[in-house]
Amino acid sequence: MRRTTTFAALLSVSVLALGACSSSDSDGGDKASDNTSASASASADVCKDADGDGPKIGLAYDVGGRGDQSFNDSAYAGVAKAVDELDATCLEGEAQDAEPESAREDRLRQMADAGANAVVGVGFAYSDAINAVAPDYPDVNFGVVDGFDPDDKPNDNVAYFSFAANEASFLVGVAAAEKTASKQVGFVGGVHNDLIKGFEAGFTAGVKAVDPSIKVDVAYIEESDLSGFNDPAGGKTAAAGEFDKGADVVYHASGASGSGIFDAAVEAGDGNWAIGVDSDQYLTATADQQPHILTSALKRVDVATFDFIKSVADGSPKTSYVTYDLKNDGVGYSTSGGFVDDIKADIDGYADKIKSGEIKVPTAP
């Protein structure tokens, strides 16, 4: 019995030690520095030695933090630009997986107490925390990427950035329609909810705008369970089904399941394409996958973040819902790899038509 007690004690000590590692690790600032393919902006931390007299920015990352090669890095790029152009200074904080709501609130309060006048929460998960904190700091302006107001009481110092994902999807739909040889393309969504239906609607509209006879196969990994964004195996099965049935371009809006869609394109062989989403996924794809990534539908979190900071610096801070679309460069498509260079003029032509209002992109299929 004594031996087992000793063992149990050792076990609990080691668990505690591991826990300590976890929190000290999250403060380490240069996680992405060895990563050759990460965007260059992530390799140095501008917040450490910024000392301008512009706005003071608080940047609260979502889980993953800087170095995630996605939203967090993109928001950081916006802040870096603000440091550069607006003489801003900044503070950073990062969320942990499955942390309590109060941890998010504390992070925001610490930033506001430290004198930040523009606080940005990366990711919709900050919506509730900012709604709780904002009324206590009327002089601080808050922004939430992909955020929403959880109650009826409007906050006049909070801006919610939303992105016209349907417009970006329309443009990659045009690219898919111009590149397909089999006159059949596919879409794989992570979860069948309103947000992802917007991607599907935009993509389908873009394809049909070029050639109404092109068939669009649609598959969703999960009906309502959010695990559909985390299931590469399911994504690969769904995409392989579409490639098998004759599609040669498949667009995904399925988060981390996307790597499975890229695998399916590689397995389908030359002349089969996948289209990425949210960030320029060509840059983070493996060498095998890169020749199959036609383009990516972009959500410019960096543009939104910089735009918000600039509005604070100019003394007319943005509040309430702010939509970032093609008109203000808040969404777009990527050209890495050079696979869409030959049809760029066509895609940009459609983009101009959307900007002028000539084409209205649907938000639901």
Partner 1 sequence: MSTTQVDKSAPSERARKIGGMYRTYWLVMLVAVVALSLVRIATGADDITAANTLRAAILSACPILLAGMGGLWSERAGIVNIGLEGQMLLGTWGAAYFTYNYGPWVGLLGAAAMGALGGLLHGLATITFGVDHIVSGVAINIIGLGATTFLAEAFFSDYQYGGPRQLTGLDGLPFVTVPGLSDGLKSLNDQGWFVISDLAGLLAALTTKVSVVTILIAVIVVLTAWILWHTSFGLRLRSCGENPAAAESLGVNVYRYKYVAVLVSGGLAGLGGAFLALVAASGFTTNQSNGRGYIGLAAMIFGNWNPFGTLGASLLFGYTDALRLRSPSAVHALLLVVAIGLLAYAAWRFYQGARTSAIVLGLIGAAFLVWFLTTDTVPREFTGMTPYVVTLLVLALASQRLRPPAADGQVYRKGSAG
Cβ 246 to partner 1 shortest distance, Å: 12
Nearest alpha carbon to residue 59 among 143, 2, 136: 143
Encode burial over 239-278: b for 16+ CB neighbours within 10 A, e otherwise: bbbbbeeebbbbbbbbbebbbbbbbbbbebeeebbbbbbb
For partner 1, how many residues bind (rule: CB under 8 A)?
56
Q: Kindly state whether residue 293 participates in binding partner 1, applying the rule CB under 8 A.
A: no
Using the minimum distance from each CB to partner 1, give the nearer residue, 31 or 215.
31
Among 57, 58, 59, 69, binds partner 1 (CB under 8 A): 69
Cβ 184 to partner 1 shortest distance, Å: 14
Q: Of the listed pieces 31-39, 153-161, 165-173, 292-300, which binds partner 1 according to CB under 8 A?
A: 31-39
Annotate 187-235 with DSSP letters as a single string. Answer: EEEEE-SHHHHHHHHHHHHHHHHH-TT-EEEEEEEESS-GGGGG-HHHH
Contact 86, 78 (CB under 8 A): no
Residue 290 carries which DSSP code? G
Distance CA 299, CA 329 (A): 9
- How many Å is the Cα radius of gyration of the chain? 22
Name the amino acid, one letter, at 347. Answer: I
Among 286, 314, 321, 348, binds partner 1 (CB under 8 A): 286
Number of other CB atoms surrounding residue 20 within 10 Å:
10
Cβ 45 to partner 1 shortest distance, Å: 15
Using CB under 8 A as the binding rule, the residues of this chain from 238 to 267 that contact partner 1 are: 238, 240-241, 244-245, 256-257, 259-260, 262-263
Residue 360 carries which DSSP code? P
Cβ 213 to partner 1 shortest distance, Å: 20
For residue 92, what is the enclosing H or E element? strand 89-94
Q: Kindly state whether residue 330 participates in binding partner 1, applying the rule CB under 8 A.
A: no
List, edge to edge, every strand of the sheet that includes 141-145.
Answer: 89-94, 56-61, 118-121, 141-145, 158-163, 320-324
Cβ 357 to partner 1 shortest distance, Å: 32
Q: Kindly state whether residue 39 participates in binding partner 1, applying the rule CB under 8 A.
A: no
Using the minimum distance from each CB to partner 1, give the nearer residue, 206 or 235.
235
Q: Of the listed pieces 74-82, 171-179, 279-287, 356-364, which binds partner 1 according to CB under 8 A?
A: 279-287
Q: Kindly state whether residue 200 participates in binding partner 1, applying the rule CB under 8 A.
A: no
Q: Of the listed pieces 74-82, 108-116, 172-180, 214-222, which binds partner 1 according to CB under 8 A?
A: 214-222
Reduced to 3 states (helix: H, G, I; strand: E, B; else coil), residue 76 is helix
Residues near partner 1 (CB under 8 A) are 4, 8, 18, 21-22, 25-26, 31-37, 63-65, 67-70, 97-98, 192, 219-224, 227, 230-238, 240-241, 244-245, 256-257, 259-260, 262-263, 284-289
